[in-house]
Amino acid sequence: MQEPVFRLTYCSHSALDCAADPTELDRILATSRRNNAAAGVTGALIYNRGIFAQTLEGSFDAVQTVFERIQSDLRHDEIVVLQAEPVEERLFGAWAMAQAEPDHPARVHETLTSAMIDPGVTAAPPLLELLTRVVRHAPA
Amino acid sequence: MQLLPKTQPRALGLGPPAATTASLLDCTGTGLLAVACDGRITIANAAARHVLGIPADHDRLDLEAAVALSPSERARLRELVGGNLEGPLQFYTEFGMRLAITRRTAPDGSVLLSFEESAPAAPAAARTDALTGLADRHVFNERLAALCDSGSEVALLMIDLDRFKLVNDTLGHQAGDALLRLVGQRLRSTFRNADVVSRFGGDEFAIAAVAGPEATSIAERIVKVLSRPYLIEEQSAVVGASIGIAYAPVHGCDPVSLTRAADLALYQAKADGRGNVRVFNSELDRRARNRGTLAGDLRRAIPLRQLELHFQPQITLKTRELTGFEALVRWPHPELGNIPPDQFIPMAEEMGLIIPLGEWVLNEACEQAMTWPGHLTVAVNVSPKQLVDPERLPRTIAATLAKTGLPANRLEIEITETALVNEAQALAVLSKIRSTGVRISMDDFGTGYSSLSQLRRFPFDKIKIDRSFVRDLGGSAEASAVVRAIAALGQSLGMGTVAEGVETSDQEAICRDDGCSTMQGYLVSRPVPAGAVADLIDDLRIPQPT
C-alpha cells in the first residue's frame, strides 16, 4: 500500500479519571476504533496518570477530520502537537487504535510529562519509541 | 420678491454660492463625501449623512464620525481614502445596507467618495459566507434585529482570532483560508444551539444567542476550543481567540448599538492581552468616546505641527562628558495638555499613523542635530511597525540623512526587544540600516523576551539597561548584580551600555562601579525642548562633579 501517509502525534491532559473508571477508556477506544476504521486511520494511544498520548496515521484529510472531532471534545485540555508531517510508512498499520499499556509506569509518566512541558521536535521520537515498544504486544 | 443681482456670476460658470451647492447636493440620492488631506470631512450630503450616520454639523469631524460603520469597516474606508485599496468597494453598514463606494481624487488632493446602495441582497441561500458556509453579516444583522425585536434577552459574542495574521503571513493565504474553515466548523459544532453563527469577514466571527449570563462561560469554552492546534497544509498551527460580549436589551436594543458595545468589549479583551473574554460596560463606552476624539485630534496633530521633540542628554560615566541626546516625541494637546507617549504612540500604531509620525520624528531629530556640535549623536526610537516593510525604513533614513546632511555615524536607531518578535525580518531591516553606518541600540533591555539570544544574533552598538533595574540600585543587591552582569555582557560583546533613568548620585556611582559606559536620566537633565538644547550643551560642557 503506497498511499501518502500523514502522521500526527499529540499529548493532552484529560479531565477524565480513567483510573477511577476504566470503562471510560474502553468507551473512548471503541469509538475511536469505529471512527478510524471508517476513515482508514490507524494509530496508537497510551494513557497514564491523566495524560493521553496518541498517534494518528492516514491520509491528511482523514487525520484532520479525526483530529477535529477530538478537538471539539471538551474533556481534553491543553492539547500539544508533537509531530505533524508526511511520513514514509505507517508504524501502527495493523491497529485501528492500539492501546498501549504502560509497561514501566514511572518511565512512561516521565516521557509523557516531559513531552507536555517541552513539546519541541525532540519530544516526538521518545514517545513514538515508547508506543511502538509497548504496542507490539497489543491485539490488532 | 428679490431678484438675483445682474452681476451674479452663476451664468459665467463660476459656480453658485456655497449654500446653494450644498442644498443641490442634498437633492441627489447618491451619497457624496469629500475628505480633505488632513482627514477632515469637508462635504457630506444628505444621502451620505443618512447612510453613514454623520451629523449635519460635521465641520471639524473626520471619518470616525461615520458611526453607522463598524470600526473594521471604518478602517477599510480609511484605507480606501488613503489610496491603499482600489475602489469601487463593497461596504456594509451596521443597518445591513450594502454600499458600493467609488473613490476619486480632486485636483486639490482631497478625496471624493460617491456611493450607491448595491442591489438588494441575494436570496437567503446565497447569503452565506462562501468560505465557511456560515451566515454572512447581512443575514446575521437581520436575525439579530429580529431577536432584539422579540424582546428576549440576547447575547452577542464578537470573536476575533489572535495571531491569525501570522498564519497568513508565514503559511500563506490558502492556509489562512483552511484555518478559517476549521474555525467555522468548530464554532458550529460547539454551538449547535446558537441562533446564528456568522463570519463577518477576515478573522472576525459573531454569534447571537438567546441567552442569559451563561454567555460568559460559553465564550470561555469557545476561546478554549479555538485555541487548540489546527492541522492545515500538512502541518500544525495555533491561533488564539478573544471575545467581546454585549447583552440586549441592557447594552443596546438594536443591532447597531449592540454590535458597537460588543466590539468595544472585544477591543478591551484584546487590550488585556488576548485570549480573554470581556463583557461590555459603560466605562468602555466612555473611554471609547474619549479615544475617538483623541484619535481624530492625533490625525491632525502632524499636519498642524502640534507634535514636538524633546531631547534628553546622555553622558559618559567615566568623565561625565556629553555624548548626545535621545529624541523623545511630545504632544502638547491644545485643550487636554500633554498626552503621554504611551497613550498616543499605540494609538498611532493602530491607526496606521506610525509611519508618517516616525518619519516626522526622524527628520526633525536629524535637522536639530545638525545645529549641535559635530561630535554629538541623536538617538531616535523606532516602532516595530516601521520594521514590517523591509525597504521603507532604510530608504527613509538614507533620504533623511542626505536631505539634512547629518553624517550616518551621528544617528542612532533605538528599538525595543518586542520589536524583534518577528526576528528574522526585523534583523534584516536593521542590518541594512547598520551597514550604512547608522548605529543601532537595544532599548529597555531586560524587560522583553529572549534578550540574550537577540544579543548574540545581532551586533547592537549599545544596550540600554531598563530603568526598572536602575531604579532599584542601592536598594537591592540583586538589581546591582543584574546591571553589573549586563555591563559585563556588553563589554564582552563589544557593545556600550547605557543606564536609563538615573535619578540619584548613588545610582550614578553604582552604575559607574558596575561598568556601564553611559547614563541618561533626571540626574543629568530632564528631556528639554529643542530651543533649550544649546544652553544645556553649554551647561554640560564643564563636567560637573556630583
- Rounded Cα distance between B114 and B100, Å, is 8
Residue B222 φ then ψ, to 5°: -65, -45
The confidence band for B96, taking pLDDT boundaries of 50, 70 and 90, is low
Q: Cell numbers at residue B78, please?
A: 480609511
A140 pLDDT exceeds 60? no
State the number of CA atoms in the 13 A half-sphere of A37 facing the CB.
12
Q: Do A85 and B234 touch (CB under 8 A)?
A: yes
Task: Identify which of B186, B221, B232 has the shortest CB distance to residue A71.
Answer: B186
Of the candidates B432, B364, B439, B441, the residue with the CA atom closest to the CA atom of residue B408:
B439
Q: Do A68 and B186 touch (CB under 8 A)?
A: yes
The confidence band for A44, taking pLDDT boundaries of 50, 70 and 90, is very high
Domain that holds residue A80: 5-135
Amino acid at B515: G
Structure confidence at residue B531 (pLDDT): 94
* Chain B residues closer than 8 Å to A63 by CB: 231
Q: Hey, is the C-beta of B305 within 8 angstroms of any chain A C-beta?
A: no
Q: Do A60 and B234 touch (CB under 8 A)?
A: yes
Q: Hey, is the C-beta of B192 within 8 angstroms of any chain A C-beta?
A: no
pLDDT, one tens digit per residue, over B250-287 is 898 888 889 999 999 998 898 888 889 999 998 888 88
- Rounded Cα distance between B16 and B14, Å, is 7
* Chain B residues closer than 8 Å to A71 by CB: 186, 225, 228-230
B-facing residues of A in 4-43 (CB < 8 A) are 6, 8, 10
The sign one gets for the Cα dihedral B180, B185, B189, B195 is positive
Task: Identify which of B182, B229, B234 has the shortest CB distance to residue A6.
Answer: B234
Is residue B120 reached through a cis peptide bond, with omega within 30 degrees of 0 on the bond before it? Answer: no
* Chain B residues closer than 8 Å to A72 by CB: 186, 189-190, 225
- Domain B124-280 CATH (choose: 3.30.300.30, 3.30.70.270, 3.30.1360.40, 3.40.50.300): 3.30.70.270
Where is pLDDT greater, at B418 or B390? B390
The reply to whether A59 falls in a domain is yes
B1 pLDDT exceeds 50? no
pLDDT, one tens digit per residue, over B181-217 is 999 999 988 766 556 889 988 899 999 877 666 788 8
B544 pLDDT exceeds 60? no
Element (H, E) at B262: helix B255-271
Q: Do A67 and B225 touch (CB under 8 A)?
A: no
Amino acid at B105: T
Q: Do A60 and B221 touch (CB under 8 A)?
A: no
Q: Nearest residue of A to residue B237 by CA position? A: A81
- Rounded Cα distance between B296 and B286, Å, is 16
Q: Nearest residue of A to residue B192 by CA position? A: A72
Q: Where are the domains of chain B?
A: 18-117, 124-280, 302-539
A-facing residues of B in 222-281 (CB < 8 A) are 224-225, 228-232, 234-236
B58 pLDDT exceeds 80? no
Q: Do B234 and A86 touch (CB under 8 A)?
A: yes
Of the candidates B420, B501, B402, the residue with the CA atom closest to the CA atom of residue B456:
B420
Q: Cell numbers at residue B19, please?
A: 449654500
The burial class, CB within 10 Å (0-12 / 13-18 / 19+), for A95 is buried
Q: Do B186 and A8 touch (CB under 8 A)?
A: no
In this structure, what DSSP letter does residue B409 have?
G
Mean pLDDT is lowest, of B92-101, B316-325, B474-483, B521-530, for B92-101
Task: Classify domain B302-539 at the CATH class level.
Answer: alpha beta
* Chain B residues closer than 8 Å to A80 by CB: 229
The reply to whether A140 falls in a domain is no
Contact assessment for residue B178 and residue B233, using Cβ atoms and an 8 Å cutoff: yes
Contact assessment for residue B106 and residue B112, using Cβ atoms and an 8 Å cutoff: yes
The three-state (H, E, C) secondary structure of B282-346, written as one string: HHHHHHHHHHHHHHHHHHHHCCCCCCEEEEEEEEECCCCCEEEEEEEEEEEECCCEEECHHHHHH
Whichever domain contains A80, its CATH number is 3.30.70.100
Q: Nearest residue of B to residue A75 by CA position? A: B225
- Rounded Cα distance between B352 and B76, Å, is 12
Contact assessment for residue B131 and residue B180, using Cβ atoms and an 8 Å cutoff: yes
Contact assessment for residue A91 and residue A30, using Cβ atoms and an 8 Å cutoff: no
| Cell 495574521, located at residue | B165
- Rounded Cα distance between B99 and B114, Å, is 10
Structure confidence at residue B524 (pLDDT): 94
Task: Identify which of A8, A72, A80 has the shortest CB distance to residue B186.
Answer: A72
Mean pLDDT is lowest, of A33-47, A58-72, B56-70, B199-213, for B56-70
CA A20 remoteness from chain centre: 21
Q: Nearest residue of A to residue B230 by CA position? A: A68
Q: Hey, is the C-beta of B532 within 8 angstroms of any chain A C-beta?
A: no
Where is pLDDT greater, at B100 or B546? B100
Q: Do A63 and B231 touch (CB under 8 A)?
A: yes
Task: Identify which of A8, A71, A86 has the shortest CB distance to residue B228.
Answer: A71
The alpha-carbon gap from B187 to the nearest alpha carbon of chain A, in Å, equals: 9
Q: Do A79 and B229 touch (CB under 8 A)?
A: yes
What average pLDDT does this structure show over B94-112? 79
Q: How many domains does chain A divide into?
A: 1
Q: Do A68 and B185 touch (CB under 8 A)?
A: yes
What average pLDDT does this structure show over B234-256? 90
Task: Identify which of B221, B225, B229 has the shortest CB distance to residue A81.
Answer: B229
Contact assessment for residue B138 and residue B92, using Cβ atoms and an 8 Å cutoff: yes
B12 pLDDT exceeds 50? no
The alpha-carbon gap from A137 to the nearest alpha carbon of chain B, in Å, equals: 31
The reply to whether A22 falls in a domain is yes
Q: What number is the ipTM of this complex?
A: 0.88
What average pLDDT does this structure show over A83-95? 90
Q: Do A74 and B224 touch (CB under 8 A)?
A: yes
The alpha-carbon gap from B228 to the nearest alpha carbon of chain A, in Å, equals: 6
pLDDT, one tens digit per residue, over B470-527 is 988 877 788 888 899 889 989 888 899 999 999 999 999 999 999 999 999 999 999 9
Give the mutation candidate from A60, A72, A73, A74 for the B interface (greatest B CB count, under 10 A): A72
The confidence band for B95, taking pLDDT boundaries of 50, 70 and 90, is low
Task: State percent of chain A over pLDDT 90.
Answer: 23
A·B CB contacts under 8 A:
40
A138 pLDDT exceeds 70? no
A-facing residues of B in 25-54 (CB < 8 A) are none
Q: Hey, is the C-beta of A64 within 8 angstroms of any chain B C-beta?
A: yes
* Chain B residues closer than 8 Å to A68 by CB: 182, 185-186, 231
- Provide the β-strand partners of residue B43: B34
Q: Cell numbers at residue A62, please?
A: 482523514
In a 3-state reduction of DSSP, which class is residue A92? Answer: coil
What's the CATH architecture for B18-117? 2-Layer Sandwich (3.30)
Task: Identify which of B182, B224, B235 has the shortest CB distance to residue A68.
Answer: B182
Structure confidence at residue B309 (pLDDT): 96
Contact assessment for residue B388 and residue B425, using Cβ atoms and an 8 Å cutoff: yes
The alpha-carbon gap from A30 to the nearest alpha carbon of chain B, in Å, equals: 22
pTM of the model: 0.54
- Rounded Cα distance between B474 and B358, Å, is 37
* Chain A residues closer than 8 Å to B182 by CB: 68
Q: Do A72 and B236 touch (CB under 8 A)?
A: no
Q: Do B231 and A10 touch (CB under 8 A)?
A: no
